[in-house]
Amino acid sequence: MKTIIEPFKIKSVEPIRFTTREERVKILEVAGYNPFMIRADDVLIDLLTDSGTSAMSSDQWAGIMRGDESYAGAKSFYNFEAAVKKITSDEFIIPTHQGRAAEKIIFSILGGPGKYFASNTFFDTTRANIEFTGAEAVDLLVEVGKHPELRAPFKGNMDVEALEAFIKKIGKENIPLIVLTVTNNSGGGQPVSMQNIREVKDVCKKYGLPLFLDACRFAENAYFIKLREKGYENKSVLEICREMFSYADGSTMSAKKDALVNIGGWLSLNDDELAMKCRNLLIVTEGFPTYGGLAGRDLEAIAQGLEEVVDEHYLQYRIRSTEYLGEKMLSAGIPIIEPPGGHAIYIDAKRFLPGIPPEQYPGHSIVCELYIEGGIRACEIGSIMFGKYDKQGKLIPAMMELVRLAIPRRVYTQSHIDYVAEVLIEVYKNRSKIKGYQIIYEAPMLRHFTAKFKPL
């Protein structure tokens, strides 16, 4: 059959509170024109993030009831550990309350002034945790990934030649770790090929540098490999996942993405000395090594979620659902990063609003209009999130000006997505009326979470 159906039945529903356009104009103003400051109850369709917003399965809820809440050595930890090892094969599995906690631990130990970390593209919290230590985070995205309008199967890849040149320039002694983000979130949810993972590993091995995966969306990346990379079409997603992790020396993971849960994460390693340091810091910041800031019930839900996320019926539905929205937008002429990624559609704000310069934040303008027009909450990934200032206080724009429409897992139906497309098309038709924004308050780091704006 041509129709791809949701591989689940709906057993429980949560009502949506409807608002009027007039109400939303006022709500946005009170929120300082920052979608992060809008109450969730005032949002019709929430595409702010796919992190922690998944609908859990009946088996996951059953696992929550089985959760062992013993402080040390709970059986739920060993179920969790076994599930993670089944995918990563890593020796040391350290639970954390979410991905940024794992990042905080590893970069606190490896980072510091004079240190450099390289990735295909670092996301916001990863970059912040690196820079907080005084180290620098460097993006080495393959050239085709910098051009939203171009189509290529693996636009999330790292530029391997640039990586080797970077190592020679900085010196391997100043680079504690190389990171591959799979899929590449800041780069449009674009996948990384197995060939690229191997090539990056070869460079790391040549210079004696460890390689980690930022593995938040590892299963989606593996499914893209199955669909697009020769030689993997007949392999299972689990087999592909295991090969991906086999080239890495460890991983950080936000289980709030591809483990289909609302909280949780891990840090996995194979270096026993580094694992000891990480566990010691974990005890100070998160908790005992067999719970790491999580309840036993959360560990059980993650273990079950890792079984479900590699199911190919689920992944077919997941990837196709995102592609469906992308196709509707492209047919209406709306510029996006092509081809559609795994977890989100990314609007190219530069082409959507060519008259609004980066210092007036065109992506944010689109975000605000989507909320006013249809109650849709989205997220700017551009010069608000990644822009910096030079010594004169002038904005250094981000590489791309994007709006991310992140689709929660197993939450919305096709009619919800059809509604999103209708709102997007209406906003695009009236784009000539959209104005830019000015920041009137910002924090020194991760400013997009708490900044306040005013329309120009």
What pLDDT band is residue 233 in, cutting at 50, 70 and 90? very high
pLDDT tens digits for range 176-192: 999 999 999 989 999 99
Fill in the amino acid letter for 278.
C
Contact 43, 375 (CB under 8 A): yes
Q: State residue 391's pLDDT score.
A: 87
Q: What is the mean pLDDT of residues 19-26?
A: 98
pLDDT tens digits for range 244-276: 999 999 999 999 999 999 999 999 999 999 999
Q: How far apart are CA 139 and CA 162, in angstroms?
A: 10
Q: State residue 2's pLDDT score.
A: 79
Token pair in block for residue 342: 């795994």
Domains and CATH numbers, the chain: 21-50+312-455 (3.90.1150.10), 58-309 (3.40.640.10)
The answer to whether residue 82 scores a pLDDT higher than 90 is: yes
Q: How far apart are CA 380 and CA 228, in angstroms?
A: 29
User: Which residue reads 């954390």 in tokens?
Assistant: 96
pLDDT tens digits for range 371-398: 999 999 999 999 999 998 988 889 999 9
Q: How far apart are CA 454 and CA 456, in angstroms?
A: 6
Cβ count near 80 (within 10 Å): 30
Contact 257, 98 (CB under 8 A): no
Q: Counting beta carbons within 10 angstroms of the beta carbon of residue 10, is it exposed (0 to 12), middle (13 to 18) or buried (19 or more)?
A: exposed
Contact 410, 55 (CB under 8 A): yes
The answer to whether residue 436 scores a pLDDT higher than 90 is: yes
What pLDDT band is residue 3 in, cutting at 50, 70 and 90? confident
pLDDT tens digits for range 29-78: 999 999 999 999 999 999 999 999 999 999 999 999 999 999 999 999 99
Q: State residue 445's pLDDT score.
A: 85
pLDDT tens digits for range 414-430: 999 999 999 999 999 99
Which SS3 state, helix, strand or coil, does residue 214 take?
Answer: strand
pLDDT tens digits for range 328-374: 999 999 999 999 999 999 999 999 999 999 999 999 999 999 999 99
Fill in the amino acid letter for 24.
R
What pLDDT band is residue 168 in, cutting at 50, 70 and 90? very high
Ranges of H-type helices in 332-453: 349-352, 362-374, 414-429
The answer to whether residue 1 scores a pLDDT higher than 90 is: no
